[in-house]
């Protein structure tokens, strides 16, 4: 049966919603999924990849609940990133496929904060994730697991549960530039995820990716100068707490002169993660917010959110530790209006004193009255866009 265009759109919407969930919960995988293409293929019985595109059979999609779909999405993207499609060589295809699945599933289980139920499909059961020696597959390469499997007697090699189809592997040439492209995507995604304390399970990258993680770029913005002219400050020039000790014996209770104390609070930072924002641009924007926190020695407080054509609830932060667990999310079109609609609908109890939007600016600008009088700073990553209102600062990529 030929699928109607409407049905295809329904399936694609479900895949994009899955990608959005993954971006929210597991930013590393979500950033990688932003770079691949998706196809609904009636000839595909389950899911598959050829190293560039992820294919889904419509019947298989109908069988999966949302948690199962998210797992399959991460499973396929790791096959692509690890270039399993190019690495089989003259090895036995069935055994090599099992080895690759063990490595991929174990990496997902460890790094995506999942329990075993999250990589268990109702139809196929628990997904293989342990090497033949009983250790987790993330500790090894697919080739190492393959050699372990080959050392076992044939009747002790586990059967593949069939959660995806590897039959499209090898359809691209080994020297296809896709390999180099995905190496760059992997590096970019690693840079976009903040380094975490290894004892803290929040935000852990897969083991292979953690080795590639580099420090974020240094922020370009002098936030003290910008925010001094932009955000609300609590300026304390004179204070009676404590009183001026030079006049303790005086009958007068005189205030002491204190240094100006800047306390920027209740700032809403919104990072554009739409399709036009590359990993480098998202990394730079993320770095700017972290730089603002660093420059104010932890006094900067507010919310950090992400947006494309929709806003998912911004998360509050009051120190760098809280900021580090907020992960990038997004990937669709760009709509600035949704930021102000969110503020009007969900933040009336505590409105931000200012809104800083980190973006490339490639979207229609709404009428200024939508701000409700809240000051807006556009932090742009190019010289070509000039917002019709609000203050503007720029960074270069």
Q: What is the reported pLDDT for 159?
A: 65
Q: What is the reported pLDDT for 347?
A: 93
What is the 3 state secondary structure string of 201-246? CCCCCCHHHHCCCCCCCCCCCCHHHHHHCCCCCCCCCEEEEEECHH
Q: What is the pLDDT of residues 198-216, one digit of tens each?
A: 433 344 466 556 544 433 4
Say if residues 221 and 288 touch (Cβ distance below 8 Å). yes
* Spatial separation of the C-alpha atoms in residues 208 and 83, rounded to whole Å: 13
Q: What is the pLDDT of residues 32-47, one digit of tens each?
A: 898 888 999 988 989 9
Cis peptide before 242 (omega within 30 of 0): yes
* Spatial separation of the C-alpha atoms in residues 329 and 318, rounded to whole Å: 20
Q: What is the pLDDT of residues 68-102, one digit of tens each?
A: 999 999 999 999 988 888 888 888 888 999 999 99
The closest of 125, 119, 209 to 162, measured between CA atoms, is 125
The closest of 124, 137, 129 to 164, measured between CA atoms, is 124
Report CA dihedral (242, 246, 247, 249) to the nearest 10 degrees: 110
Instruction: List the domain boundaries for the chain.
Output: 5-210, 267-394
Cα end-to-end distance, the chain, whole Å: 48
Cβ count within 10 A of residue 275: 14
Of 156-165, 191-200, 282-291, the poorest mean pLDDT is in 191-200
| Higher-pLDDT residue of 204, 296 | 296
Domain spanning 267-394: CATH 3.40.30.10: no
Of 12-21, 284-293, 366-375, the poorest mean pLDDT is in 284-293
């Amino acid at each position: 049966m030929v699928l109607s265009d409407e049905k295809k759109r329904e399936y694609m919407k479900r895949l994009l919603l899955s990608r959005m969930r993954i971006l929210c919960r597991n930013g590393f995988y979500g950033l990688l999924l932003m770079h691949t293409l998706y196809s609904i293929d009636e000839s595909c019985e389950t899911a598959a990849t050829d190293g560039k595109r992820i294919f889904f059979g419509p019947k298989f999609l109908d069988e999966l609940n949302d948690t199962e779909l998210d797992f399959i999405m991460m499973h396929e993207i790791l096959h692509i990133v690890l270039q399993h499609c190019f690495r089989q060589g003259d090895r036995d295809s069935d055994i090599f496929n099992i080895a690759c699945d063990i490595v991929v599933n174990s990496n997902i289980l460890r790094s995506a904060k999942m329990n075993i139920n999250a990589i268990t499909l109702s139809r196929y059961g628990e997904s293989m994730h342990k090497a033949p020696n009983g250790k987790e597959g993330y500790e090894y390469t697919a080739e190492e697991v393959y050699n372990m499997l080959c050392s076992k007697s044939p009747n002790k090699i586990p059967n593949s549960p069939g959660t995806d189809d590897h039959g499209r592997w090898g359809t691209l040439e080994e020297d296809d530039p896709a390999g180099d492209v995905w190496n760059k995507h992997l590096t970019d995604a690693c840079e976009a995820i903040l380094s975490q304390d290894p004892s803290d399970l929040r935000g852990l990258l897969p083991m292979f990716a953690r080795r590639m993680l580099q420090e974020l770029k240094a922020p370009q913005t002098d936030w003290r100068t910008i925010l001094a002219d932009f955000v609300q400050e609590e300026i304390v020039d004179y204070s009676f707490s404590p009183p001026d000790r030079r006049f303790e014996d005086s009958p007068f209770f005189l205030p002491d002169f204190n240094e100006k104390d800047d306390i920027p609070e209740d700032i809403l930072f919104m990072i554009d993660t739409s399709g036009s924002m590359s990993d480098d641009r998202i990394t730079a924007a993320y770095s700017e917010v972290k730089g603002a926190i660093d420059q104010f020695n932890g006094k900067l407080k507010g919310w950090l959110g992400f947006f494309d054509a929709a806003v998912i609830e911004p998360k509050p932060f009051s120190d760098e530790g809280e900021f580090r667990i907020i992960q990038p999310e997004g990937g669709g079109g760009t709509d600035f209006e949704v930021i102000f609609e969110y503020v009007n609908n969900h933040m009336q109890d505590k409105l931000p004193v200012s809104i800083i939007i980190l973006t490339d600016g490639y979207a229609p600008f709404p009428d200024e009255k939508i701000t409700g009088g809240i000051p807006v700073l556009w932090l742009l990553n190019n010289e070509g866009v000039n917002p019709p209102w609000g203050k503007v600062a720029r960074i270069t990529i």
